[in-house]
Amino acid sequence: MFEHVLKIMRSCPCGRRHTLLTEECVVSPDAEREMRDYLRSKGWTDPLIIADDNTVKFAPRLADLFPAKVETVDGHAHATEVWCARVGETVDRERPDVLIACGSGSVHDITRYVAHERGIPFVSYPTAASVDGFVSGVAAMTWHGQKLTFPASPPAASFANPAVFASAPARLTASGVGDVLGKYTSLFDWRVGQILTGEYLCEELVSLEAEAIDALVDALENRETIGREAYCEKVMNALQISGLAIQLSGNSRPASGAEHHMSHLWEMHRLNETNDGLHGEQVAVGLLAVSRVYHRALADGPDYGRIAAIDPAKVMDRAALEPVFRDLTDGILRENLPDGTPASSSLTKIRLTDDTDRLLHEAERALPSSGEIERLLKLAGTPTTPDEIGLDASPEFLAESLRYAPYVRDRLTLLKVLAAAERSAD
């Protein structure tokens, strides 16, 4: 798979030039020493390690090899403006020449955001195979209550030791599996964007993500045979590839679709007061729910008359959104209407042709059945229902989630098209 990355960078049939800012992506038992050598090669002598209460125990593996200060955030810290400000203050005071993210998703998002803001490099040291954001160039943040994706610094390099990330609780690895399997609907939604709006799509990046999914599924099916550490390494490789695909694309389109919008909505606590799910667990629950909607809609036959009649002004009606999004409504409207008018909505780009139905059904062939997706998630030990992650178990809650999740992002997904068509027809 990593050879495929290099091939895409050399020459891609899509005609675009794909670049990576991450120079090395190492998964090795000698990861710490390789990091030390890398820092020396760059002339970085004053690193600051960012960890949390759960992952700071791994910091000595690095600090024993080279001098480093350590900043610890709360073990339950999320990537928010509060924690970014606190870490930013430490960076301003200590003035390191490089940051090291020692942790999983939230630690990496906080670190990459602060590194980007301060204009200093950072290096990734993932301690669990739990999310695909380690080598990503975007930061998924909860900013003043709204889930947003900010441009941020990808790591200059990533060094992962299987002995470290395989020691993480099994729940974290299962979360990573959920994040990777979520690419089934991410890739489908990207294809939908291409079919309905002519959106740019790179077939090589689709192929790269599909390779990562297939390798993960193979490891999942043979987990007992290959052993825990080798299994976790396969999960980590798939997560790293997905993060690199985000960098190569320049945005999160290859790795984030309607399943991630479900997760983001729950993290914004608009329909739920709280939730207990990890990111990949929420993505897994969203994946299964969204896949069921997609297969059902395509089996019944989409109402193309309704889709053609979508009215963005009616869809983005403040009176309809405010009861759910409340104090975040202005932010949701800005996200979906970049220039403040309905004409700037992604929904206005939809163009139906005589081939639309055929192309959508062809795209569906790459999306496994909901039954198969559920089997894989259960095999991984990942939650599949809202109540398993502390959410309302009622069908009404899930229906509301599916109805409002598309507005978390302006990005076109089939879920957004279906929801917009329904709202326009009301």
pLDDT for residue 1: 60
Task: Please name each of the domains of the chain with its CATH number.
Answer: 2-165 (3.40.50.1970), 175-425 (1.20.1090.10)
Taking residues 151-160, report their average pLDDT: 90
Kindly indicate the confidence band of residue 139, based on its pLDDT and cuts at 50, 70 and 90. confident
Out of 70-84, 227-241, 264-278, least confident range: 70-84
Residue-wise pLDDT tens digits, 223-251: 999 999 999 999 999 999 999 999 999 89
| Residue 103, strand partner residues | 126
pLDDT for residue 334: 94
Whether the pLDDT of residue 74 is over 90: the answer is no
- Residues 125 and 153: their CA atoms lie apart, in Å, by 15
Q: Which of 36, 107, 106 is nearest to 66 (CA)?
A: 36
- Residues 369 and 182: their CA atoms lie apart, in Å, by 13
Spatial neighbors of 38 by CB under 8 A, at least 6 apart, are 24, 123, 157, 159
Out of 150-159, 249-258, 330-339, least confident range: 150-159
- Residues 170 and 153: their CA atoms lie apart, in Å, by 29
| Whether the predicted model's global pTM rises above the 0.75 cut | yes
pLDDT for residue 119: 95
pLDDT for residue 344: 93
